[in-house]
Chain A
Amino acid sequence: MTLAASNRSPILRVAMSRDDLMMRLGVVLFAVVLLVIVGLPLWSLLAKAFEDRDGKFVGLANYVSYFSTPALFDSALNSLHVAAVCTLIVVPLAFFYAYALTRTVLPVRWLFQGISLIPIFAPSLLPGLALVYLFGNQGFFKGALGGPIYGFDGIVIAQIFYCFPHATLILVTALTTADARLYEAADALGASKLRVFFTVTLPGAKYGLISAALVVFTMVITDFGIAKVIGGNFNVLATDVYKQVIGQQNFSMGAVVGMVLLAPAAIAFLVDRVVQRKQVALLTARAVPLIPKPKLGRDLFFTAFCTVVAAGILVILGMAAWGSLIKYWPYNLSLTLANYDFTNFDASGWDSYFNSVEMAVGAAVFGTTLMFVGAWLNEKTREFYLMRGIVQFLAFLPMAVPGLVLGLGYIFFFNAPNNPLNFLYATMGILVVNTVAHFYTVGHLTATTALKQIDPEFESVSASLKVPVWRTFGRVTAPICLPAILDIAIYLFVNGMTTVSSVIFLYSSDTKLASVAAVNIEESGATAVAAALCIVIVITSAAVKTLHVLADRFLLGRLQAWRRR
């Protein structure tokens, strides 16, 4: 991926070894898989941007008609506005939270870390519902915002809640892999704390900061769930897609807006290329991990900061939990457990919940394997730049695509009568594949980041000892990256539990998912039941995450022991 090679003095071209050949073959195979699960389905929808409703080619006519609608500029500006504001709030907030978690001594650090993850466990419906309970016209704090919750304010608050853990996760990773020797050196040279922060800490986390900003920005731009529930009249591009596709079944126009939405992805991709060029391995074979030492003033300040942020998250979750127990908001506030008896509200009842668990486990297993092996192939293959560039681009695409666009693309591609893969359609399999594709980017980034942090020295040594690459992969690379691998698996699991926008087109009679059921239930007016289903999903994901943390601490501790001094 890096172009650093071009800076090196030109060396003699070494004949390709069998390992090189195998790796290249692997990259090609991997590119084909990505093409099938991401590229082709997207294209089969986006190509409709050039067709009229009857499928006749009309060139750019749809673009002309769309761009001549003043509403587009409103929506595009609104999208950019809300995404920029959210990014500017979330990234610093997440940075200081991550800094507190990794560089200071917090009491009950594990608790703060756990709370910061809660939003990722929740369907995007949850913050919307909670905000209505809190700030709606019947809410506890109505009028506290000085205006209606529906619209810009509501979207921003809900998006901050929703994006915060994503940014925090990336930044914790970025801040964890610091080399203590740098700080020791700075200390020995008598650098001030502020100077150390700006010259050592920030540059070290630069890649993480940029990734976090890109992820938050594109997440806000492409999400329609929050805008739909709490956006009011505030039109954004993602709700425009919804109007065209769901409201008017105008796939051509939906594809046009989908294309417009790809712009942020293209930018993200370019930025990433530039940043990656400058990225060097942080974890050299000789690095020493940084372990924060207690310091009263700093620790008190960050404890207070984290407490405020964590309280904000808990208030939203708590409101939804309490709302799920209410009989009839706001006229009968007595409490009941009846809202958890889902069979009364949705024919598939608890079945949809178990479908969700099955699907999320499938996505975690299949997706993690694909993402890690794929990222490894792409990182560790030498040269072969064009193919690796294509892979990188395909891996970036899903982040920028609204789920509705991907889901429809899956119908067009996988349901085509002449597609040999159409046996997958309307099965649990297609939900798994679709979910993996939808959340591909972050998993791929995580794997790539983890792999980049491993000094290439490990591979060089293995190669010179004539150990085959796959053995180095199994004995060295994968074990070192086990924490990242588990992170990816958990990420896929929790997103599989909450995903809606793409799978809503793909489930069949016996594979309905809980997250979709929650949206349907909310639409039918049973807000408390929808909240209850959201809470069950949160509890499930939180339980799985707890198991992960315990496994991390007691099983993986041994594998990672070498990192410590």
Chain B
Amino acid sequence: MTIFATMRRAAVLGGVALAAIAISGAAFAQKTKLTVYTAIENEQLDPFKKAFEADNPTIEIAWVRDSTGVMTAKLIAEKDNPRADVIWGLAASSVGLMAGMGMIEPYTPANAAALKPIFKSGKSPETWVGMDAFLAVVCFNTAEAKKGNKPTPTSWADLIKPEYKDSIVMPNPASSGTGYLTIAGWLTIMGEEAGWKFMDALHQNVSQYLHSGSAPCVQAAKGERLIGIGFDMRGATEKTKGAPIDLIVPKEGLGWEMEATAIVKGTKNLDAAKKLADWASSPKANELYGKYYAIVANPTVKSMPPNYPADGEKLMAKVDVDWMAKNRERILAEWTKRYDGKSAPKAK
């Protein structure tokens, strides 16, 4: 075979390969690619995508996932030229903020009527629809408690007892949405005056305010701290992995937040986005959420993921979401003045 023949063969092969790529590309291109911004947990990404795409074979989900704070900041920064089509799984307070900024395309999904009322924005058409709720619970490390001979707390009032001095971590509300919903919950349940008094007392027992909502239960799970106040689902998964912790729902009630779905205004794939919004509020989707969260939007879906506290839903504080949003700056300023920056080494 001459050199030229070899070259020709190579060219033909290359051409075939290119054509194959082009064809598969074309088949690929028939699918609508939806860019979905989310803060759901890593392990949920694949199951959610697969379940939706199985029912909607013409649509493909491209996830962009990071923590709630990063995704909210990114969405707001992209406001003038939105890159996301749909938000699926971001804190409702963040989505509410964006709705207020005119960044959300109002749409009432097909299955919205069947959902619990608190899981909806209340607007017509809806700006967002809730998926599941999460709570700011107490993660209590039983192994460390045994070593230190510490009693199990059952209420917020227990946490200000002197035996828990320096053994509590909670999220810093100035850095973490979970932190803010935690203190907003206290202010709602106890009232403002008693709420701040409680936090003054709690501050004596808090060893650290952390920068994320997951971190407190993770630290409690790993025995870094006896008690972490934070994101319930993280505590449950750590327990499933073998951590010696109990998830405690304090009997006074507690702050909570939900994850929500919304369509981004300006999306070029509105039809596909609506299909995703419809699907995300369907009973099927709610069953999927129920694998990870105990409290979901659809009242007929009963689910109890492993190691979840049982009575959380009954004790959800009657938080006024609008009040939370309007008073956020004031509450955070007050909180920061009282507790942040007091980093001087405490007497041990």
Contacts and interface: CB of A to CB of B under 8 A. Distances in A.
Interface string A318-352: 00000000011111100000000000011100000
Interface string B169-206: 00011111100000000000000000000000000000
B341 A235 contact: yes
A169 interface: no
Interface stretch (A31-39, A70-78, A276-284, A488-496): A70-78
B64 A520 contact: no
A422 interface: yes
Interface residues on B, range: 35 or more
Interface in B188-237: 207-209, 211-212, 214-215, 217-218, 221-225, 234, 237
B77 A247 contact: no
A508 B242 contact: no
Contacts of B242: 327-328, 331-332
A347 B63 contact: yes
A232 B212 CA distance: 12
Contacts of A327: 242
Contacts of A507: 64
Contacts of A416: 80-81
A75 to B, nearest CB: 7
A332 B212 CA distance: 25
Contacts of A137: 223-225
A514 to B, nearest CB: 14
A367 to B, nearest CB: 24
A425 interface: yes
Given A246-B73, A415-B80, A233 B41 contact: no
Majority secondary structure of chain B interface residues (helix, strand, loop or mixed): mixed
B77 A505 contact: yes
A504 interface: yes
Given A243-B174, A408-B73, A523-B212, A417 B81 contact: yes
B234 A150 contact: no
B250 to A, nearest CB: 22
Interface residues of A, number: 59
Interface string B60-90: 0011111101101110111011010000000
A138 B243 CA distance: 14
For A136, A332, A422, A525, which residue has the most chain B Cβ atoms within 10 angstroms? A525
A206 B229 CA distance: 51
A234 interface: yes
A520 B66 contact: yes
B62 A245 contact: no
B46 interface: yes
Given A235-B340, A425-B83, A408 B77 contact: yes
A331 B64 contact: no
For A422, A510, A520, which residue has the most chain B Cβ atoms within 10 angstroms? A520
Contacts of A246: 67, 69-70, 73, 175
B25 interface: no
B57 interface: no
B327 to A, nearest CB: 13
Interface in B290-348: 328-329, 332, 336-337, 340-343, 345, 348
A520 B73 contact: no
Contacts of B343: 74, 78, 151, 232-235
B270 interface: no
Contacts of B332: 248
Interface string A401-436: 000000010011001110000100110000000000
Interface string A510-525: 1000001000110111
B244 interface: yes
A246 B178 CA distance: 13
Interface string A67-86: 00111001100100000000
A137 B46 CA distance: 35
Closest 8 CB pairs of A and B: A509-B62, A246-B69, A247-B175, A525-B218, A347-B45, A411-B77, A71-B341, A233-B343
Interface of A: 69-71, 74-75, 78, 132, 136-138, 147-148, 150-151, 228, 232-235, 239, 242-243, 245-249, 251, 327-332, 345-347, 408, 411-412, 415-417, 422, 425-426, 504-505, 507-510, 516, 520-521, 523-525, 527
24 contacts: A70-B337, A136-B224, A137-B224, A138-B222, A138-B223, A147-B348, A151-B345, A233-B340, A239-B175, A242-B175, A243-B211, A246-B70, A247-B69, A248-B332, A327-B242, A329-B222, A331-B143, A408-B73, A411-B74, A411-B77, A415-B83, A425-B83, A508-B64, A525-B214
